Structure 1
Amino acid sequence: MGSIFSSRIKRTLELTKMATKIGFKELTSGDIQSRIEQAKILTESLGNLRGAAMKAGQLLSLDLDDYFPPEAIQILSQLQHQVWESPELDLAQTLKAELTEAQLLELREIQYKPFAAASMGQVYKAKVANNPIVIKAQYPYLEQSIENDIRTLKKIISALCLMTGRNMNLDYLFAEIEEVLLQEVNYLNEARALANFNKLFASHDWKYAEVNAPTPLTHLSTKKILCLSYESGLTLKEWIDTAPPKEKRELIAKSMLELYIMEFFVWGFVQTDPNPGNFLIRENPKLEIVALDFGASKEYPPEFRKSYIELLKSIQNSSAETIVQKAIDFELLDPRETQDAKLVFVELMKLGMSPFFHNQKGGKFSFKDDDFLKNNSRLSRQLMQSLKFSPPPHKLIFLHRKLGGIFAALRKLEVELDLHEYWEQIIMRRV
C-alpha cells in the first residue's frame, strides 16, 4: 500500500469525490441540514488526506461563515484540533535517511510511538545527553503533494463560489496558502524561526507573564526532521480546567495580547498558527507561556504594517466612504461590490474594533459577551452573502487567523480587560 501523499491521482480523485458529494447536496437541497452534511464530508475527507489539503481546509474553515450555518462551522472547526496518527510514517526509517550515523548516536531512548500528530507530521520523544527532546518527523512525499492539492482545492472552491453566485479571483489566496505550506514543510525554516523568536522573546521585558519557546537543535535537524528541547507545561485547556483564579487568567490573557502586539506591530514577525495546543502554561514559580510550532511564521514589512495601522485608525475616526476606500486600497474589498455590501463591511469593521474604542462595563470589554459574538457572526454572514467579487483577503488570511485564535483563547479564559492601552500602543507605533 503506497503513501496517501505519493499518488497525485489518488488524492485528486479523493478531493474530486468530496467536491461531487458537496455539490450534489447543494443542488438537491442547500438547506441547513444539507450544509451540516457538507461540513461532515469536508472534515472527514480532508482529515483522511492530511497534508496540504487538510491544512488549507483548516485555513478556509475560518472564512466559511457565509456558506455554512453555526452547526456546520462547529463541525468544520474540528479540523483545527483533530490529529490523525499515520502508519505510513516510519520514524526509524526517516531518521536513518535524514541523519548521519554520528547524529543518530546522539539520540537516546527514542519513543517510536508518536505522542502528537497533525496535518504535516508526527511528534516523538527522545533524549540527547540525558536531556528530554522532541523529534518532529514529516510525512513521506508530503512536499510533492502540495501543488496538486492546492490546484485541486482551488478548482473546488471556485466551483462552489460560482454555484452560490460569486465571481471571485482566488489565485492570490491560494498562492499565499501554497507559499506558506511550502515554507512549512522545510523544517530548517522552523528551526531558524525558533532561533529568531527565542532572541526576540529574551530581549523583551514582559509586563505580565514571561513568553518562551523551545530551543532548536539545529545540528540534528534537516528539512524533514526537527529536533528541539522538550518543554513541560499544561495546554491552555488543561490549565483552564484547573480553575485558576481570575488574577492569573488575566495575566495570561494580557500576555497573549502583548505577544500579538509585539509580533506584528513591533517585530513584524508572526507565528500565525492559532491552535490553542500551541500554548503551554507553567508556573516556575511565576506564570510563563511556552509558544510552540513556528513552521508557519510570516514576516510583514514596515510598509504593510503602516498601511494596516492607517486602515485601523480610519475605522475609528473616518467616514464610511473613507473606510471603504482604504479597504479597497488595501485589497480587502473589490470596488465592484454593491453599496449595501460596502455599508455592511463598514458596520462589521466598526463592531470588530469597538472593544478597543469604547468604554464597556467600567472601561473593560468582556470576552464572554455573547451579544458581541452574535452580532459579529450576524454581520459576517450578512457581508459574505452580499460579496460577489471579494475573496478572503490573501494578505491577511494568516494574520487574522492568528488574531482570531487569540480572541478565541481570551474567550476561553473568560476575562474582562481594558483594551484601550493596547490600542494606544498600536496608534503610537512608529513602524
Structure 2
Amino acid sequence: MGSIFNSQFKRTFELAKMATKIGLKELSSGDIQSRIEQAKILTETLGNLRGAAMKAGQLLSLDLDDYFPPEAIQILSQLQNQAFESPELDLAQVLKAELTQDQLRLLQNINYKPFAAASMGQVYKASVSGNPVVIKAQYPHLEQSIENDIKALKRLMSTLCLLTGRSMNLEHLFVEIEEVLRQEVNYLNEAQALSNFTELFESHAWKYARIRTPKPLHHLSTNKVLCLTYEQGLTLKEWIDTRPPVEKREIIAKALLELYVMEFFEWGFVQTDPNPGNFLIRQVPELEIVALDFGASRRYPPEFRKNYVELLHSIRSTSPEKIVQTAVEFGLLDSRESEDAKMVFVELLKLGMSPFFQNANGQKFDFKNDKFAKENARLSRQLVQSLKYSPPPHKLIFLHRKLGGMFAALRKLEVELDLREYWDQIETADIN
C-alpha cells in the first residue's frame, strides 16, 4: 500500500467524498444536528489524511467557528490538538536518507518511538555529546501533497460558500495558506527562524518572565529533519493544573501579552501558531517561558503594521463610517456588504478593543468574563451570517490566529489585568 501522502488520487478522492457528504447534510436539513454531523465528517477526514489537508483544516477551523454551532466547534477543535503516531514515518529510514554517516554518528541514544506528533511530522528524543536533544522528522511525500490538498480544500470551501448564499473570492486566502505550508515543510526555514527569535529574545529585557527558545543544531538539520536542544518544562495546561497562585498566573499572562506586542508591533516577526502546547513553563528559580515550534513564523512589513495601528486608532476615535472605510482600504471588508453587516462589523471591532480602552480609572479586564466572550461570539456569528462578499482576511488570518490563541491562553489563566500599558506600548512602538 502506498503512502497516503504520495497518493494524490486517494487524497483527492477522500476530500471529494468529504465535500459530497457535507453538501448532502447541508441540503438535507441545515439544522444544528446537520452542522454537528458536518463537523464530524470534516474532522475525521482531515485527521486521517494529516499533512497539508489537516494543517489547512486547522487554520480554517478557527475561521469557521461562527459557521458551526458550539457542539460542532467542539468536534472541529479536535483538529487543533490531534496528534498520533503514524506507521508511515520510519525515523531510521528518514535519518539515513537525510544525514551523512558522520552526522549519524553524532546522534546517540535515539528513541525511535515518537513522544509527540502533529499534522506535519513527529518528534523523537536522542542525545548529542551527552546532552538531550529532540529530532523533528517530516512525514514522507508531504511536500508533494500540498498543491493537490489546497486545490481540493478550496473547492470544498467554495461549495460551502455557494450552499450558504455567499459569493467570496477565496483565492488570496488559499495562496496565503499554501505559502505558509510550503514554508513549514522546509525545516531549514524553521531552524533559521528559531535562531532569529533566539537572538531577539536574548537581547530583550523582559519585564515579567524571561522567554527562551530551544537552540537549533544547524549541523544536524536538513529540509526534512530538524535537530534542537531538548527543553524541560510543563505545558501551559499542565502548569495551570498545579493550581499556581494568582500572582504567578498574572506574571505568565503579562509575559505572553508582552511577547505578542514585541513580536508584531516592534519586531514585525511573529510565531503564528497559537497551540498552548507551544509554551512550556518552568521555574529556575524565577518563572520563565520556553516558546516552541517556529515553522509558521511570519514577517509583517512596517507599512502593514502602521496601517494596522491606524485601524486600531480609528476604532477608538472615529465615526463608524471612517472605521468601515479604513477596514475596506485594509482589505478586511468588502465595500459591497450591506449597511447592517458593516455596522455589525464596527460593533464587533469596538467590542474587541474595549478591554484596552475601558481602563481609564484603572479598571482591570477579567479574561474569564463570560459576558464578554458570549457577546463577542454573538456578534461574530451575526457578522458571518451577514457577510456575502468578504472572505476571511488573508493578510490577517495568521496574525489573528495567534491573537486568538493568546486570548484563549489568558482565559485559561483566569486573570484580571489592567491593559493600559500594552496599548501604550502599541502607540509608542518603533515601527520601521
> Counterpart in 2 of 1:216?
216
1:149: which partner in 2? Answer: 149
**Counterpart AA for 1:372:** F
TM-aligned CA deviation for residue 361 of structure 1:
9.2
Letter in 1 for 2:277: G
Shift of 1:429: 1.9
- The code of the aligned residue for 1:135 comes to I
1:363 and 2:363 equivalent? yes
What is the match of residue 281 of structure 1? 281
- Alpha-carbon separation, structure 1, partners of 2:268 and 2:85: 34
Distance in 1 (CA, whole Å) between partners of 2:389 and 2:24 is 24
Aligned equivalent of 2:56? 56
Q: What letter corresponds to residue 195 of structure 1 in structure 2?
A: S
Match of 1:32 in 2: 32
Q: Is contact 2:359–2:419 with CA below 8 Å preserved after alignment?
A: no
The Cα offsets for residues 114-142 of structure 1, whole Å up to 9 and x where unpaired, read as: 00000000000000000000000000000
* Cα distance in structure 2, aligned partners of 1:411 and 1:91: 38
> Which residue is equivalent to 1:294?
294
Contact 1:57 1:79 in 2 (8 A): yes
Q: CA deviation at 1:34?
A: 0.6
Corresponding residue for residue 316 of structure 2 = 316
The 5 A counterparts of 1:25-174 are 25-174=25-174
* Alignment partners' CA distance in 2, 1:46 and 1:205: 42
Tell me by how many angstroms 1:362 deviates: 5.1
1:342 to partner: Cα distance: 0.2
> Equivalents in 2 of 1:401, 1:53: separation in Å?
18
**Deviations 1:315-353 (Å, cap 9, x if unpaired)?**
000100000000000000000000000000000000000
On the 8 A contact 1:197/1:213 being kept in 2, the answer is yes
Q: What is the aligned partner in structure 1 of residue 330 from structure 2?
A: 330
- Quick one: distance in 1 between partners of 2:222 and 2:242? 38
Which residue identity does 1:10 align to in structure 2?
K
CA distance in 2, matches of 1:172, 1:256: 30
CA deviations over 1:258-284 (Å, ceiling 9, x no partner) = 000000000000000000000000000
SS in structure 1 at match of 2:372 = helix
Q: Could you list the per-position Cα deviations for residues 130-164 of structure 1 after superposition, in whole angstroms to 9, with x for gaps in the alignment?
A: 00000000000000000000011000100100110
In structure 2, C-alpha distance between the alignment counterparts of 1:75 and 1:367, rounded to whole Å: 24
Q: Which residue in the other structure is 1:195 paired with?
A: 195
Other structure's SS at 1:23 match: helix
Contact 1:328–1:335 (8 Å) recurs in 2: yes
The equivalent of 2:391 in structure 1 is: 391
How far apart in 2 are the matches of 1:39 and 1:243?
33
Cα shift at 1:2: 1.0
- Aligned partner of 1:376 in structure 2 is 376
TM-score under structure 1 length normalisation: 0.99
Shift of 1:75: 1.0
For the residues of structure 1 that align with 2:274 and 2:118, how far apart are their CA atoms?
14
CA distance in 2, matches of 1:276, 1:65: 18
Amino acid at match of 2:415: V
Deviations 1:254-312 (A, max 9, x none): 00000000000000000000000000000001000000000000000000000000000
Q: Counterpart of 2:66 in 1: which secondary structure?
A: coil
Gaps of 5+ in 2: none
Query: What SS does structure 1 have at the residue aligned with 2:77?
Result: helix
317-326 or 353-362: bigger deviation: 353-362
Partners of 1:282 and 1:81 in 2: CA distance: 22
Deviations 1:372-416 (A, max 9, x none): 000000000000000000000000000000000000000000000
Partner of residue 426, structure 1: 426
Report how far residue 359 of structure 1 moved. Answer: 2.6
Asked if 1:345 corresponds to 2:345, the answer is yes
Is the Cα–Cα contact under 8 Å of residues 58 and 79 in structure 2 kept in the other structure? Answer: yes
Counterpart mapping for 1:213-252 below 5 A: 213-252=213-252
Matched-pair contact (CA < 8 Å) for 1:249–1:415: yes
CA contact (8 A) 1:111 1:126 kept: yes
Q: How far apart, in 2, do the equivalents of 1:254 and 1:170 lie? A: 36
State the alpha-carbon separation in 1 of the partners of residues 429 and 218 from structure 2: 34
Asked if the contact 1:47/1:84 (under 8 Å) is kept, the reply is no
Q: Name the CA shift for 1:421/1:162 in 2 (closer, same or farther; >3 Å).
A: same
Structure 1 counterpart of 2:177? 177
Specify whether residues 74 and 101 from structure 1 end up closer, same or farther in structure 2 by C-alpha distance, changes over 3 A only: same
Q: 1:381 and 1:290 mapped to 2: Cα distance?
A: 35
Paired residues of 1:36 and 1:72 also in contact (CA < 8 A): yes
- Residue 228 of structure 2: SS of its match in structure 1? strand
**Aligned partners of 1:361, 1:31: CA distance in 2, in Å?**
45
Give the CA RMSD over aligned residues. 0.8
Deviations 1:59-117 (A, max 9, x none): 11111133200111111111111112100000000000000000000000000000000
SS at match of 1:108: coil
Query: Counterpart in 2 of 1:15?
Result: 15
Counterpart of 1:2 in 2: which secondary structure?
coil
Matched residue type, 1:92: A
In the TM superposition, what is the alpha-carbon distance from 1:243 to its structure 2 partner?
0.3
Q: Any idea what SS the aligned residue of 1:207 has?
A: coil
Deviation at 1:430, TM superposition (A): 3.4
